[in-house]
């Protein structure tokens, strides 16, 4: 199994184009390779999407040192003119694993977070802005991390409750730096967290949730049914710098500032002394069950060594179901749940596969909260470079959010036909 890993990562990391993923330049390549000099969705870097309470679809993306937002009232057929969030340009991370985030509360207030890249390589700050007037204006951006050393505070993730509580987590190297200053060894970074009870006006003191995290994989966040965060991330197990195991962990909260004990989410025992640029995804269904999916190179035969993608949920202690194949370059899975009828919970999984000529987005659907699954379905394809697939939902449907070099931004409803039962 491990023989596929080097080839897999070289292919995947080169396949996500530099033109699509870097946000510091005022010019670049957009849809069909056109040169971009004016901010527009066709030239967007790493778009994120979220629905507002009135049904509007909101996007956040990066171009020329600015985060831009725009909205659609017709599910992505047309969009408003883009509006800049940050007045002064700054270097902004706009990559598949580290993009600007957008969330809305039930009053229609808009919340944006992103990672500001600093001058030194692999350094950054966590930035935040909000709009309390429905996207007409945005506040002056603030820095959420209270450690201001020029080190890594990056890979932010954010969720917002209906009443405007803001939860942000990120990967932070302040403890690694402190250890280094003392001549001590510290593997990886740390998972940090901050919370706002006043719609993002102020944030709590930064909290270290877990030491020795992987340093460049996306963090997954969702809200549970008590409006408290659930966080999943790639963690480092073992204290041998030359023999690291990079599996995943998950943490829930008893209250906004009282985290529970972290649990081990995945147990594929992946030994890799470097960051694989593959973070997990997580969602919580209407019955409070936590669903997660992740990528790992499986060297544990008990975990089904033919698979590189995995899914588990809290109802069965996250027992891993393997799917996706290394020889198909399966990668970057995402999960979303939908309450179909007030009782049953539908679970959607999407991921990428590359056959050497084109990239497909595949989907699996479960209509019984992850107990059984339908057949794999191809829901979108491109022959050019592309972003990771994301899932966005409102109360009625789940949508694929996917940015490709050739076709531009796609926002696609997932077909009810995909819910036909099957077995694969």
Confidence of residue 131 (pLDDT cuts 50, 70, 90): very high
pLDDT for the residue numbered 10: 35
Is there a contact between 315 and 369 (Cβ–Cβ < 8 Å)? yes
Per-residue pLDDT at 29 exceeds 70: no
- Domains recognised in the chain with CATH numbers: 2-419 (2.120.10.10)
Confidence of residue 402 (pLDDT cuts 50, 70, 90): very high
Long-range CB pairs of 300-305, under 8 A, 24+ apart, other chains included: 300/267, 300/268, 300/269, 303/267, 303/268, 303/269, 305/1
Token look-up 């390779």 returns: 33
Confidence of residue 306 (pLDDT cuts 50, 70, 90): confident
DSSP state of 53: T
CA gap 354, 5 in Å, rounded: 14
CA gap 317, 287 in Å, rounded: 15
Is there a contact between 399 and 393 (Cβ–Cβ < 8 Å)? yes
Nearest to 29 by CA among 389, 404, 411: 404
Over residues 385-400, the mean pLDDT reads: 96
CA gap 326, 68 in Å, rounded: 36
Over residues 302-323, the mean pLDDT reads: 88
Per-residue pLDDT at 356 exceeds 70: yes
Q: Is 329 left (phi over 0), alpha (psi -120 to 50) or beta?
A: left
CA gap 166, 412 in Å, rounded: 28
pLDDT for the residue numbered 344: 78
Q: Is 148 left (phi over 0), alpha (psi -120 to 50) or beta?
A: alpha
pLDDT for the residue numbered 239: 80
Residues of the chain above pLDDT 70, percent: 88
Is there a contact between 350 and 337 (Cβ–Cβ < 8 Å)? no
Question: 3-state class of 365 per DSSP?
Answer: strand
CA gap 204, 258 in Å, rounded: 12
**Torsion (CA) 318, 158, 395, 341 in degrees, nearest 10:** 20
Vertex 384: Cα angle to 381 and 389 (nearest 5): 50
Q: What are the tokens at 181?
A: 């200053």
Q: How many CA atoms lie within 13 A of 354 on its CB side?
A: 21
How far from chain centre, in Å, is Cα 126? 15
CA gap 313, 294 in Å, rounded: 12
Is there a contact between 156 and 168 (Cβ–Cβ < 8 Å)? yes
- Taking all residues of the chain, what is their mean pLDDT, rounded to a whole number? 90
Over residues 298-309, the mean pLDDT reads: 67
Nearest to 252 by CA among 290, 279, 280: 290
Is there a contact between 13 and 7 (Cβ–Cβ < 8 Å)? no
pLDDT for the residue numbered 31: 66
pLDDT for the residue numbered 421: 39
Over residues 378-402, the mean pLDDT reads: 96
Which phi and psi (to 5°) does residue 218 adopt?
A: -60, 150
More confident site: 92 or 20: 92
Residues of the chain above pLDDT 90, percent: 82
pTM reported for the whole predicted model: 0.92
pLDDT for the residue numbered 343: 72
Nearest to 252 by CA among 231, 273, 266, 234: 231
Q: Render pLDDT for 223-275 as a digit per residue (tens, 0 to 9).
A: 999 999 999 999 999 888 888 999 999 999 999 999 999 999 999 999 998 89
Taking the CA atoms of 394, 397, 398 and 399 in sequence, report the sign of the dihedral they define.
Answer: negative
Confidence of residue 21 (pLDDT cuts 50, 70, 90): very low
Nearest to 249 by CA among 179, 182, 190, 302: 190
Per-residue pLDDT at 2 exceeds 50: no
Q: Render pLDDT for 162-213 as a digit per residue (tens, 0 to 9).
A: 999 999 999 999 999 999 999 999 999 999 999 999 999 999 999 999 999 9
pLDDT for the residue numbered 24: 40
pLDDT for the residue numbered 30: 67
pLDDT for the residue numbered 4: 41
pLDDT for the residue numbered 33: 64
């Amino acid at each position: 199994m491990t023989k596929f890993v080097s080839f897999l990562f070289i292919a995947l990391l080169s396949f996500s184009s530099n033109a699509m993923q870097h946000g510091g330049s005022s010019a670049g390549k957009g849809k069909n390779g056109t040169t971009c000099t004016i901010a527009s969705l066709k030239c967007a870097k790493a778009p994120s999407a979220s629905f507002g309470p009135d049904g509007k679809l909101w996007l956040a993306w990066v171009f020329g040192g600015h985060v831009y937002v725009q909205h659609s009232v017709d599910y992505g057929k047309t969009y408003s003119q883009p509006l800049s969030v940050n007045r002064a340009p700054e270097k902004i991370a706009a990559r598949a694993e580290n993009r600007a985030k957008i969330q809305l509360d039930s009053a229609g207030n808009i919340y944006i977070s992103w990672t500001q890249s600093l001058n030194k390589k692999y350094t950054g700050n966590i930035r935040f802005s909000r709009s309390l007037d429905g996207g007409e204006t945005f506040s002056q951006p603030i820095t959420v991390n209270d450690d201001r050393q020029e080190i890594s505070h990056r890979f932010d993730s954010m969720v917002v409750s209906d009443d405007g509580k803001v939860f942000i987590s990120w990967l932070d190297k302040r403890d690694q730096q402190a250890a280094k200053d003392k001549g001590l060894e510290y593997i990886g970074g740390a998972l940090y967290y901050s919370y706002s009870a006043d719609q993002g006006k102020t944030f709590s003191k930064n909290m270290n949730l877990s030491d020795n995290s992987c340093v460049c994989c996306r963090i997954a966040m969702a809200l549970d049914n008590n409006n408290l965060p659930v966080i999943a991330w790639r963690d480092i197990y073992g204290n041998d710098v030359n023999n690291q195991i990079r599996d995943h962990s998950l943490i829930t909260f008893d209250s906004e500032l009282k985290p529970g004990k972290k649990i081990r989410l995945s147990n594929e025992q992946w030994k890799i002394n470097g960051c694989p640029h593959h973070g997990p995804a997580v969602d919580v269904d209407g019955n409070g069950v936590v669903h997660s999916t992740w990528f790992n190179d499986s060297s544990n035969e008990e975990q089904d060594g033919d698979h590189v993608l995995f899914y588990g949920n809290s109802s069965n202690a996250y027992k891993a179901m393997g799917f996706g194949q290394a020889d198909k370059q399966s990668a970057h899975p995402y999960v979303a749940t939908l309450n179909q009828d007030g009782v049953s919970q539908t679970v959607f999984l999407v991921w990428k596969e590359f056959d050497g000529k084109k990239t497909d987005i595949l989907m699996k659907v479960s209509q019984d909260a992850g107990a059984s699954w339908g057949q794999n379905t191809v829901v979108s394809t491109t022959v050019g470079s592309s972003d990771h697939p994301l899932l966005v939902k409102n109360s009625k449907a789940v949508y694929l959010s996917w940015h490709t070099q050739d076709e531009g931004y796609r926002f696609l409803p997932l077909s009810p036909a995909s819910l036909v039962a099957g077995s694969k």
